[in-house]
Amino acid sequence: MDGAPLTSVALCGSGLALWMSAAAFSKSLPNSVQMTVVDTDPNPASDMFYGHVLPPQFYDFHLSIDLSEPELLLNTGSTFVFGTQMQNWAQPGRSWVQAFHQPLPVWEGVPLMKLIQQHPHATLQSTLISAQAAKTGVFAHPSEDPEHPLSRAEYGYAINPAELSRLYKAVAMRRNLQLISAQIETVTRKDDTVTSLTLTDGQRVEADLFIDCTGPSAVLRAKGLAPANKSRSVTAKLSRNADTPLGAPVQRVSGSDAGWRSDVVLRSGALRLTVADTSSELDGNAASFQIGRAEKAWHGNTIAIGHAASILEPFTVAPMKLLLRDIERVQSLLPVSSDMRIEAQEYNRAARNDYDHASLFNQAHFAVPDLPDTPYWQTAAVKNDAPKLVRKLTQYNGRGYLVEYDNEPFDAVDWAVLHDGMGRTPHRADPLAAAIDPETVQSCLDTLRKNIKAVVERMPPHPIYMSKFIAYLHRKYSRNG
């Protein structure tokens, strides 16, 4: 083996990135590796820029760290979401539900998506049960029966990053780890390698591998390692309202001339994130964020994750997806020795791809000709010429073909719903779709919609489902101790 074996890992930073990775590592790091957590801030303001929705992929992540859904619900104010209701996005009236949904059916050898691409825009939305339930305000857990319409729905959670961080911390502390609460004062390096951190309480932390979870400031990043690929900046502000009653299982994102705002309602109150261009005066605790990514997330023996590595706007779940991918990527490439060049190379390649592909999805929200003539929208549109995005849009606009790249964080359904929501209509019908008798398509479509409607009508309103579900969990867990 080249280099000494890996014996210690230090996670440094704060909030969601810190405790989510600590929870993951507490399960996956071998016991022979010493794990140290340096918590620099119990409640970092920048966590608002991860957004307030966990995509469906977090369900499996939670299973992998032995965190059950009941635990999540009983220990945080989280609620269910079927997706994001986009409202007046870039133009008054451009609204759709960016729903979480399983792949769409295939009829007569042609994907449903292709069959209805030239139907009015309401058509695709009407075939997505999660979109219909979100709009109606109802919720039930997706059915296990693959024949049931509700089995096609997927859901995520609306969360408060501070509550979730506390829960992840409790999970992480099930393992024997060293926890230090202090700020980082100096970072000592030898060439590319961080040898130790000196903390404000005078302690020194040494480790073979450092995970930088310090947010946008990326405290462990080497000086001179440029924060490359940065583009525009935006200003964001978080406000809370403890009295908002629970409503539909959906996040709402509304566009305005100055930018956008996101609203979620948790059982512990409502969270509103307002984002605008930097010239806008957002009163109160506003912070500014620069969109972009670090050139190399893994440098020497330091891996930057979450905001320390990349920042995207949370009007989609892109930031949460990237944070999850960062953590999974570190786990799959955890180095075995102090010589980590091969792992770092692969990590940086994959991280770059993930960021690029997630940012395509966000950028596609700006790729329309009718953007408001205001600084926020006009600055955002500058990157519409990214070649990979142009390819996706050209192929879709041509005849509705969905180009997919390797391991994209957003899948074909996400893209189809987005294209449709943004009002893109393919110029031509897919030739094979056009060969199918329109009446057959219409009658299949009618049946599908009727079935969805019937199920949605029987589903309970989200607040009622939630309160009954929580009451049930309380009974069950108090009975079982």
Interface positions, 305-334, toward other proteins (CB under 8 A): 332-334
- Residue 99 and residue 23: Cα distance in Å, rounded? 28
In the region spanning residues 26 to 55, those forming contacts with other proteins, defined by CB under 8 A, are: 28-33
Contact call for residue 177 and other proteins (CB under 8 A): no
Instruction: Select from 432, 454, 464, 471 the one that contacts other proteins (CB under 8 A).
Output: 432
Distance of closest approach, residue 329 Cβ to other proteins, in angstroms: 10
Shortest distance (Å) from residue 235 CB to other proteins: 36
Specify the residue, 31 or 480, whose C-beta has the smaller distance to other proteins.
31
406 binds other proteins (CB under 8 A): yes
Rounded to a whole number of angstroms, the minimum distance from the CB of residue 113 to other proteins is 12
Nearer to other proteins, 32 or 480 (CB): 32
Measured distance CA(7)–CA(306) in Å, rounded? 24
By beta-carbon proximity to other proteins, the closer residue of 232 and 399 is: 399
From the CB of 1, what's the least distance to other proteins, in Å?
5
- The amino acid present at 436, given as its one-letter code, is I
Given 34, 193, 254, 337, the residue binding other proteins (CB under 8 A): 337
Of 413, 411, 425, residue with least CA distance to 112: 413
Minimum distance from CB of 175 to other proteins (Å)?
A: 13
Six-digit token pair at 428? 């031509």
Tell me if 180 sits within 8 A of 207, measured CB to CB.
no
At its nearest, how many Å lie between other proteins and the CB of residue 216? Answer: 29
Q: Which is nearer to other proteins, 156 or 426 (CB)?
A: 426
Q: Is residue 229 a contact partner of residue 321, using CB atoms and an 8 Å limit?
A: no
Regarding 1 and contact with other proteins (CB under 8 A), the answer is yes
Q: Which is nearer to other proteins, 170 or 403 (CB)?
A: 403
- Integer CA distances (angstroms), 185 to 201, 219, 220, 226, in order: 9, 10, 11, 21
**Is 64 one of the binding residues for other proteins (CB under 8 A)?**
yes
Q: Phi, psi (5° rounding) for residue 438? A: -55, -30
Q: Which of 45, 162, 412, 434 is the binder for other proteins (CB under 8 A)?
A: 434
Binding segment for other proteins among 92-100, 157-165, 255-263, 335-343 (CB under 8 A)?
335-343
Q: Which is nearer to other proteins, 185 or 411 (CB)?
A: 411
**Minimum separation from the CB atom of position 448 to other proteins (A):** 22
- Under rule CB under 8 A, residue 6 binds other proteins: yes
Hey, which residues between 342 and 401 contact other proteins (CB under 8 A)?
342-343, 345-346, 349-350, 391, 394-395, 398-399, 401
The count of residues interacting with other proteins (CB under 8 A) is 39
Closest approach of other proteins to the CB of residue 406, in Å: 5
- Please tell me whether residue 407 binds other proteins under the rule CB under 8 A: yes
Site for other proteins, rule CB under 8 A:
1-2, 6, 28-33, 64, 109, 332-337, 342-343, 345-346, 349-350, 391, 394-395, 398-399, 401, 403, 406-407, 427-428, 430-432, 434-435
